[in-house]
Structure 1
Amino acid sequence: MENTRSHDSSSAIKITDSNNVTKVSPAKIADRALKYSSVFWFISILLGQWFFFYYIFAFYGFSVINDNMEIWNRWEAMGAKPYHVGDFSGNLAFAAHAIGAGIVAFGGILQLIPKLRSTFPRFHKINGYVYLITVFCLAISGFYLVWVRDPDPINSSGIGTTINGFLILLFAYFTVRNAINKDIKTHRKWALRLFVVSNAQWTLRVGTFSYLITGNLLGTKPAFGDLFFSLWTFGCYLLPLAVLQLYFYATEKHSQAIWHSYWNIATSTLLFVLTILMVIGMVGFTPFLLSVINNEEISF
């Protein structure tokens, strides 16, 4: 039996026997597993992000247009009171933050589509500018809401949001710098990191619902006082960043093909499991947001 390494884009190893029958090697299986798990993640997050975009503009967008921002306080039942009477700057910052999150949810995922980048490079560039400006405003408005508007910013939520904001600004800087330097490969890595941290608040909410649903299914009786919620304030962007780094490593070439295959299988399995958990959270989060839009009672 003869082993030959093919030099196609997937860097797969094909095994050809004496009868010239090509068999799929473990490396090929590992590469396919990583590819399909990535596609599964992309489709899932696209659906979730675009529904989130719909919710933001259906609830926050129209409330601003109709000068009915008092309805934001429907969240008071959950311990939040976004609208403050007479606080023009604070209400403006919150509106900008919420609507900015919607723009990021819709436009960010488009930047990740290779076919769109290659076919419509001008759109990719313009959309990228809009995205960068929006995430910058998102970070600054987040700082304002935590450190100026919030009377008690020194808590896990405030600190987590602040770190998230600094990461957004840092990753945006490296994304732009590498684009200017024409280092497209590195630019795309930083753009993916920026995408992850820019959508942390969506991940926070989806993860919360996933924890509550899976916990109830497993009979662990989850509650809002659980340690998970303090940790998830930071985990909503640190965990995706860690998984993304594993993905980067899996897509790089390595001298020892067998270990590379094992790594790809492990990474694709982890990505698949986390995507399933994300989908579970989306399934719970979607009807909840619909109840908010439809002015129904907010409850879990």
Structure 2
Amino acid sequence: MTNASSPVLQGSLRAPPGVALGGFADRIGAPALKAAATSWFVVAVLGQLLFVAYVIGFYGRAALQGRFEAWNKVLPHGYVAGDTFGNLVVSLHLAFATVVIVGGALQLMPAVRRVAPAFHRWNGRIYLASVLLMSVGGLVMVWTRGTVGDLSQHVAISINALLIIAFAGMAFRHALARRIDLHRRWALRLFLVVGGVWFFRIGLMAWIVVNRGPVGFDPKTFAGPFLTFLAFAQYVLPLAVLELYLRAQAGRGSLQRVAVAGGLFALTLLTAGGIVAASMIMWLPRL
């Protein structure tokens, strides 16, 4: 009679490779997906805070010193002498950008929601009002003042602003109805489209560093096929990745969770690279 320690029996009890892989995915799928999402969020928030420091350090300092014309070095037509209303719109747009970035990060932190629910609700109201005002201001700036880039980029930016308005409305609607899971999903979508301009900057700087110069666009006119692609990709790609994450999180496929987690870890590295490039080329030199 063959006992349990027999090499023959041990070999027959060994799990097939597919089953073993599936068991491994079951154990690490959910934790890996959570860790990947958290890693990306932390890196993104740090990068956005660097952008806030740049906005305050450059635009805010110039405003306090009364050198509003300095804005035009970075933001064409950012300040126009005699245009009180237009200058006010630009100023509010920049101010709300800082409020939105900080407020958005706080809204998505589970610890804040758990420890200070009242703060979460009031911060959410301020956040939604700010993104709406910022979006309207952005539309006014694009279509009345003129910005760099061609028509395709203006259309892409306008769609981004309209998505912000729509997603803010959906997040608020589901929050009022206490549909918390749906509210969370729309809040995540809103966070990503609000960061569209930031995604554009880190994507552009990473592209320039990788190619060792401007490729696919003319730096003088700031137009070209790559910039047209990036203008739409700045919100389309993050939203697509979010949908993959939400499906993996809600689904039962452990292998799918592991695959999405791996993709998120890779995107975290790419995001970090873009942040470093943007910081070294655009933000830190102007602080």
Deviation track 1:11-67 (CA, whole Å, cap 9, x = no partner) reads: xxxxxx9xxxxx973212222221221121011011111111111112222333333
Q: Deviations over 1:245-269 (max 9, x none)?
A: 1111011033xxxxx1221122112
Q: Is the 8 A contact 1:250 1:263 kept in 2?
A: yes
By how many angstroms is 1:271 displaced? 1.5
Say if 2:199 is the partner of 1:203: yes
Structure 2 CA distance for aligned equivalents of residues 232 and 145 of structure 1: 20
Q: What one-letter code is carried by the residue in structure 2 that aligns with 1:101?
A: A
For the pair 1:88 / 2:84, whether they are aligned, the reply is yes
Is 2:217 the partner of 1:224? yes
User: Of 224, 246, 251, which aligns to 2:244?
Assistant: 246
Aligned to 1:275: 268
Q: How many residues align?
A: 261
The structure-2 alpha-carbon separation of the partners of 1:221 and 1:64, relative to structure 1 and needing over 3 Å to count, comes to closer
Alignment-mate amino acid for residue 232 of structure 1: L
Counting aligned pairs with the same residue, the percent is 34
* CA distance 1:249–1:286, shift in 2 (3 Å): same
1:156 maps to a residue whose letter is: S
Deviation digits for residues 43-97 of structure 1 (CA, Å, limit 9, x no counterpart)? 1011111111111112222333333211112227xxx342222222222111111
Larger Rg: 2
**Residue in structure 2 matched with residue 4 of structure 1 by the alignment:** none
Distance 1:253 1:134 in 2: 34
* Mapped contact 1:75–1:81 kept (Cα < 8 A): no
| Cα shift readout 1:150-198 (whole Å, capped 9, x = no counterpart) | 2899702210111001100100000000000000110010001011001
The residue matched to 1:222 in structure 2 has which SS? coil
CA-atom RMSD, angstroms? 2.2
2:285 to 280, 291, 294: 291
Matches within 5 A, 1:147-166: 147-150=143-146, 155-166=151-162
Alignment of 1:67-216 (within 5 A): 67-75=66-74, 80-150=76-146, 155-216=151-212
Choose 125-134 or 93-102, whichever is displaced more.
93-102
Separation in structure 1 between the aligned mates of residue 261 and residue 96 of structure 2, nearest angstrom = 32
- 1:6 corresponds in structure 2 to none
Q: Aligned-pair distance for 1:101?
A: 1.3
Q: What 5-or-longer segments of structure 1 have no aligned partner?
A: 1-16, 18-22, 255-259, 294-300
> How do residues 39-78 of structure 1 correspond to structure 2 at under 5 angstroms?
39-75=38-74
More helix by share: 2
Deviation at 1:111, TM superposition (A): 0.8
Structure 2: gaps (5+ residues): 1-14, 16-21, 219-223
Are the structure 2 counterparts of residues 44 and 152 from structure 1 closer, same or farther at C-alpha, using a change threshold of 3 Å? closer
Q: Which has the higher contact order (CA 8 A, sep 6+)?
A: 2
